[in-house]
Amino acid sequence: MYKEICKKYSPDKDNLIYILHDIQDTHPQHYISEEAVEVIAEYLGVPANHIYGVITFYSMYSTSPRGRNIIRLCESPPCYIKGSENILRKMKIMLGVETGGTSKDGLFTLELCACLGVCGNAPVMMVNNDVYGDLTEDKVEEIVEKIRRGN
Amino acid sequence: MSLKRIDLLICCGSGCVSAGALKIKERFHEVLNEKGISNEINIIETGCMGPCDYGPVMVIYPEGIFYKAVTPEDVSEIVENHFIKGRPVQRLMLHDEEKTFAAQKDVPFYQKQVKVALENCGYIDPESLDEYIATGGYEALGTVLTTMTPQQAIDVIKESGLRGRGGGGFPTHAKWQMVHDAKSDEKYIICNGDEGDPGAFMDRSILEGDPHRILEGMMIAAYAIGATSGFFYIRAEYPLAIKRIKHAIEQAKAMGLMGESVFDSKFSFDAEVRTGAGAFVCGEETALIHSIEGMRGNPSPKPPYPSTSGLWGKPTVVNNVETFANVPSIFVKGAKWFASMGTELSKGTKVFALTGDIRNTGLVEVPMGITLRELIFDVGGGIIGGRKFKAVQLGGPSGGCLTIEHLDVGVDYESLKARGAMMGSGGVIVMNDQNCMVNIAKYFMDFCVDESCGKCSPCRIGLKQMYDILERIVHGYGKIGDIEELQRLGEAVSRLSLCGLGQSAPNPVLSTIRYFRDEYEAHIRDHSCSTKVCLALMHFDIDKDNCIGCSLCARKCPVNCITGSREEKYTIHQLDCVKCGNCQDVCPVKAVNRVPGMHPEEKTKRDTLKKQHPHED
Ligand SMILES: Cc1cc2nc3c(=O)[nH]c(=O)nc-3n(C[C@H](O)[C@H](O)[C@H](O)COP(=O)(O)O)c2cc1C
Ligand code: SF4
Ligand code: SF4
Ligand code: FES
Ligand code: FES
């Protein structure tokens, strides 16, 4: 499977970031496994440690399994000023996790991130590729419930 | 295309989408079909219209009626009353205490704005090349390619006085000239759409709302410097912007506006989109170049500058999204027209993203030199919720905080720099009197510690030390001398760091010390946070006179530290309190207060502990 994803891109080193994105997005647990790194290393002809160097540099990549849905809550100042701390507290209770943790049912991983560029509607979070703004404690509850039911 | 009776422009910028704009659009389609009038109404998805906080917003032509905060439930009413009966819905219009503003052009938010880079954003369908061309799009490119030499094009930019909108304000023509003059078989042009500054979303909005404009600006630059390929570097957090630019590239290619011999000239050009993966430092140009090359996005020392050795070692121009967005207008309306706006050294307009405790959060474009007061109070509508203005943070983590005494400062590159702030990319974070400046400084420092690439030790270690000191202060363990230590470290980190991140990261701390020193002192010396934000430096107290003895607080306290009875009223045992705030939330008569300052009992306990363990801090 990893091999096939790699083949969508020409074997140039500058495609590494896209291959990593693609592999992570396609994996149901949204991470890049050791095995995947070996496959990419062979395909691009670069050492595995170069690939790990890149993975650890960029905050969006993960080398350990995560939940089916990735929640990224913005913790930058404009969102903080508008109360992102309360949203975080609520989320932790609701999902029963600490920051970075995955809920028991494997459905959600809760992460913090830097500004998502939707600060006009702070506080903001991104669930997978969808942005939700003007968050309130009630609203996050609704959003999480809806995704839960959808799964 | 048949002519329609009504144009319905729905804002589908990211802000409005996050507030549910797509659902509204679907609903309109449904209702119009039900009523059988979908052939009379043109539904157009636009980019950001500006007042994101009022989202989802829409404008309905021919009258230009502006509706805000529309919900799916409102749609039937709009169709029934406005579209069928011709009676616009008052309820959804914007109003202040006295007046209702029916038309978009009358809304106060737009009054002082002058739109150049945002000219089409919110007015056209960003996915339609025809609409872009109908507003005069690609006219500038045609003129440049068919009537000017590259040097003449650079001279026009020089005359306009355009400076880079990505932060530094470097003269655009000078950068172009260097690469134009460089001898090389291959040159590159890069559009910097990384936009990582907290509180900034102008580049995203322009990319999403008017992608062809950026493409056109980039092609003019490419022609001027002699590049035949270009790259858009857009952060992965902006999927819609990526999609729109890719779409625009395809359309331009299909139209022959890109590719071999554009406008039958000798100019050929191709562009690609590259994305990041979540690293703020990749907005720095050398780091960005490394990231495009598929490596860690570490900055490298300059010189060599990208203009001599950039992407794959070739001469490269890196320009910001908004910089490119200004270029087509300069060629259509003239360098003189552009230079007539703004100040002596800062020409033209600037797009700002207003955020924080301001009434109109959103995207605005104003002439350079406008005062902070006009920007915050006239355009931004002032502070929300009847609170007082306290500070404004300009320029993201590389900028600084200004205060009430600076409200009449004109917003241009030099004026802001002279006062310890910065234009930066245009993020304007407004704060009311409920914000603790020490805590805000800590938040910015936290951001920079997280985002430092770690390549050089002053930035990696120095920023962490500064963060630790701030963390100590807000937890009530500040020491005399901490302020001086922060200043010393801050100056060292600024001086010794390799790239702009480290060089400017101490600014928020240094500027808050400069203008809010008393707040730092109160935290350290008096163990008090006057805004009651820093939990360690405030306490909860029950006002016995107001308490009705209902016991709700005691029942909600997770550590059972509230005792009392109906007669005696209730008391908090301070030493056990974990400051969760539950008691304050549930008290029906608001008898629970936040009081600035550490409670005396807690202070005594800390002092005793300190005496017993003098080495622990
Ligand atoms: C840490 C850091 C982050 C930066 N981020 C951005 C950014 O997100 N967008 C941008 O256009 N410029 C950013 N810059 C500035 C760029 O390095 C560069 O100066 C700019 O893209 C040049 O374009 P301009 O001349 O059109 O302003 C950043 C600089 C530093 C030091
Ligand atoms: S100043 Fe900071 S971000 Fe810049 S190169 Fe040095 S360590 Fe990296
Ligand atoms: S703040 Fe929380 S812990 Fe403290 S008294 Fe109130 S309810 Fe109890
Ligand atoms: S600060 Fe949260 S989205 Fe920008
Ligand atoms: S996104 Fe709709 S007004 Fe900004």
Share in percent of chain B as helix, strand, coil (round to 5): 45, 15, 40
Nearest to A14 among B204, B275, B294 (CB): B294
| Contact across the interface for A80 and B429, Cβ inside 8 Å | no
pLDDT > 70? residue B240:
yes
Residues of A in contact with B17 (CB under 8 A): 131
Residues of B in contact with A118 (CB under 8 A): 14-15, 18, 52, 201
Question: Which ligand places an atom closest to the C-alpha of B542?
Answer: 3
What lies within 8 Å, CB to CB, of B310 at 6+ separation is B188, B190, B285, B289, B316, B317, B318
Question: Which ligand places an atom closest to the C-alpha of B599?
Answer: 3
| Contact across the interface for B297 and A81, Cβ inside 8 Å | no
In angstroms, what separates the C-alpha of A121 from chain B's closest C-alpha? 6
Alpha helices in B258-397 (DSSP H): 285-292, 321-333, 335-339, 372-373
Q: What is the mean pLDDT of residues B63-83?
A: 95
> What does the pLDDT look like over B516-565, one tens digit per residue?
999 999 999 999 999 999 999 999 999 999 999 999 999 999 999 999 99
State the average pLDDT for chain A: 94
CA distance B417 to B399: 9
Q: State which of B176, B237, B318, B321 you would mutate to test the pocket of ligand 1, scoring each by most atoms of that ligand within 8 A of its C-beta.
A: B318
| Contact across the interface for B353 and A119, Cβ inside 8 Å | yes
| Contact across the interface for B53 and A13, Cβ inside 8 Å | no
Q: How far is the CA of B349 from the centre of ligand 1 (A)?
A: 18
Tokens 């494997």 identify what position? A106
Q: What is the mean pLDDT of residues B189-200?
A: 95
Q: What is the mean pLDDT of residues B94-118?
A: 92
| Contact across the interface for A119 and B279, Cβ inside 8 Å | no
In angstroms, what separates the C-alpha of A82 from chain B's closest C-alpha? 7
Six token digits for residue A76 = 């930058």
CA distance B145 to B99: 50
State the average pLDDT for chain B: 94
Q: What is the mean pLDDT of residues A119-129?
A: 93
Nearest to B14 among A17, A21, A118 (CB): A118
Inter-residue contact B228 to B268 (CB < 8 Å): yes
Q: State which of B541, B556, B572, B586 you would mutate to test the pocket of ligand 3, scoring each by most atoms of that ligand within 8 A of its C-beta.
A: B572
| Contact across the interface for B279 and A58, Cβ inside 8 Å | yes
Residue type, B320: N
User: What count of CB pairs under 8 Å joins A to B?
Assistant: 137
Ligand 2 atom closest to B499 (CA) = 4
In angstroms, what separates the C-alpha of A109 from chain B's closest C-alpha? 17
CA distance B431 to B226: 46
Q: Is A41 in the pocket of ligand 4 (CB under 6 A)?
A: no
Q: What percent of chain A has pLDDT over 70?
A: 99
Nearest to A17 among B237, B277, B427 (CB): B277
Residue-level pLDDT at A151: 64
Q: How many CB atoms lie within 10 A of CB B571?
A: 15
pLDDT bin (cut points 50, 70, 90) of residue B2 is low
Q: How far is the CA of A54 from the centre of ligand 5 (A)?
A: 35
Residue-level pLDDT at B1: 52
Q: What is the mean pLDDT of residues B338-352?
A: 96
Q: What is the mean pLDDT of residues A23-46?
A: 95
Residue-level pLDDT at B613: 67
Q: What is the mean pLDDT of residues B53-74?
A: 95
Residue-level pLDDT at B426: 92
pLDDT bin (cut points 50, 70, 90) of residue B420 is confident
Residue-level pLDDT at A137: 93
| Start-to-end Cα distance in chain A | 24
Residue-level pLDDT at B392: 96
CA distance B184 to B259: 21
Nearest to A133 among B18, B291, B451 (CB): B18
pTM (predicted TM-score): 0.94
pLDDT bin (cut points 50, 70, 90) of residue B36 is very high
**Rg of the Cα trace of chain A?**
17
Q: What is the mean pLDDT of residues A25-42?
A: 95
Counting every residue, how long is chain B? 617
Residue-level pLDDT at B614: 58
Tokens 């590494």 identify what position? A16
Alpha helices in B295-334 (DSSP H): 321-333
In angstroms, what separates the C-alpha of B204 from chain A's closest C-alpha? 7
Q: Is B497 in the pocket of ligand 2 (CB under 6 A)?
A: yes
Q: How far is the CA of B205 from the centre of ligand 5 (A)?
A: 8
Residue-level pLDDT at B172: 98
Q: How far is the CA of B493 from the centre of ligand 2 (A)?
A: 10
CA quadruple B362, B367, B369, B375: dihedral sign:
negative
| Contact across the interface for B18 and A118, Cβ inside 8 Å | yes
Nearest alpha-carbon partner for B82 in B16, B22, B35: B35
> What does the pLDDT look like over B112-142, one tens digit per residue?
999 999 999 999 999 999 999 999 999 999 9
Q: What is the mean pLDDT of residues B430-447?
A: 95
> What does the pLDDT look like over B145-172, one tens digit per residue?
999 999 999 999 999 999 999 988 999 9
> What does the pLDDT look like over B451-509, one tens digit per residue?
999 999 999 999 999 999 999 999 999 999 999 999 999 999 999 999 999 999 999 99
